[in-house]
C-alpha cells in the first residue's frame, strides 16, 4: 500500500480575469522505502505539487492521502498537527537556525511538540551518527560545509519519525560529489526507515538513485521510469 497517494490533483489560480492551471489531474503514489524524483523545467508545477503533498497548499481538485488519512477531511488545527508529526521537509538551503548547534537543530523539532526526553536526545545522536556527523553535535551551522548542512537537514526531517519526506531541490547549492552523497543518504534513510520520499530536482545525474521518476511539463505529470 502506498504511504503517500496523490490522485487527480489540480490546482488553479486566478490572476485578474485569467485562470491559470498550475496542475492538471496529477497522480502519483509512493510506497514505504521508495524515493521518487520529480523533474521538469522551472514553472512547470513541481513545487506546487510538493506543497500540496506537504499540506502547505490545498488542491483545487483531487485527494491527498498519507498513511491512510485523507488530508481533505482534516480541520486547519488537525492539519497543522498532522504536518508536524507525519511530514519531514528538506529544503534547498537546509534552513538551519543560525544560533542553534547541530544537535539542537534536531531537538527543536521535539520541543515544538513536547518536552525533550533522554530518548529524544539519543535518537537525535543516532540519526546524526548514521549520517556521518558524530563529531559535529556541537558545531554551529556556519562551521559546516554545504553537504554537512544538508545532512543535518536530512536528520532533522527524520527526527519525528515522519511518514513522508519531501525534498525541494536539496542538491541545488552543492557540487556533484556532495550532491550525490546527499541523495544517496536520503535514499538509504528512506529505505531503511521505510518512509516515502519525494525529491523535486533539476539534477538528472541523481535519477539513478531513485526508485521512480516523474516528469512535470506545464502542470501535467507523467511517469518516466
Domain that holds residue 174: 2-15+26-223
**Does a structural domain hold residue 104?**
yes
Q: What is the pLDDT of residues 11-54, one digit of tens each?
A: 998 877 888 888 999 999 999 999 999 999 888 889 899 999 99
Number of domains within the chain: 1
Mean pLDDT to the nearest integer, 142-162: 87
**Does a structural domain hold residue 117?**
yes
Nearest CA-CA partner of 205 in 223, 165, 178, 166: 178
For position 180, which CATH number holds? Answer: 3.40.50.300
**Does a structural domain hold residue 106?**
yes
Decide: 173 and 57 in contact? Cβ < 8 Å. Answer: no
Q: Please tell me the least confidently modeled range out of 27-31, 34-38, 161-165, 177-181.
A: 177-181
**Does a structural domain hold residue 157?**
yes
27: its cell numbers: 497522480
Q: Please tell me the least confidently modeled range out of 73-82, 133-142, 175-184.
A: 175-184
**Does a structural domain hold residue 52?**
yes
Q: Is the pLDDT of residue 173 over 80?
A: no
**Does a structural domain hold residue 20?**
no
Amino acid at each position: 500500500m502506498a504511504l503517500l497517494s496523490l490522485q487527480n490533483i489540480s490546482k488553479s489560480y486566478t490572476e485578474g480575469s485569467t485562470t491559470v492551471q498550475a496542475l492538471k489531474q496529477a497522480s502519483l503514489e509512493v510506497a514505504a522505502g521508495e524515493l521518487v524524483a520529480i523533474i521538469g523545467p522551472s514553472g512547470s508545477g513541481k513545487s506546487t505539487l510538493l506543497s500540496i503533498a506537504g499540506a502547505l497548499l490545498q488542491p483545487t481538485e483531487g485527494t491527498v492521502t498519507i498513511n491512510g488519512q485523507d488530508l481533505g477531511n482534516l480541520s486547519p488545527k488537525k492539519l497543522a498537527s498532522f504536518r508536524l508529526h507525519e511530514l519531514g521537509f528538506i529544503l534547498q538551503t537546509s534552513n538551519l537556525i543560525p544560533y542553534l548547534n547541530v544537535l539542537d537543530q534536531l531537538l527543536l523539532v521535539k520541543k515544538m511538540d513536547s518536552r525533550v526526553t533522554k530518548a529524544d536526545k539519543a535518537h537525535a545522536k543516532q540519526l546524526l551518527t548514521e549520517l556521518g556527523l558524530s563529531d559535529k553535535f556541537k558545531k554551529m551551522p556556519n562551521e559546516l560545509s554545504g553537504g554537512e548542512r544538508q545532512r543535518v537537514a536530512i536528520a532533522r526531517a527524520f527526527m519525528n519519525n515522519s511518514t513522508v519526506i519531501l525534498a525541494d531541490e536539496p542538491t541545488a547549492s552543492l557540487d556533484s560529489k556532495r550532491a550525490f552523497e546527499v541523495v544517496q543518504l536520503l535514499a538509504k534513510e528512506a529505505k531503511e526507515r521505510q518512509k516515502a520520499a519525494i525529491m523535486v530536482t533539476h539534477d538528472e545525474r541523481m535519477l539513478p538513485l531513485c526508485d521512480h521518476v516523474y516528469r512535470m511539463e506545464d502542470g501535467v505529470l507523467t511517469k518516466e521510469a
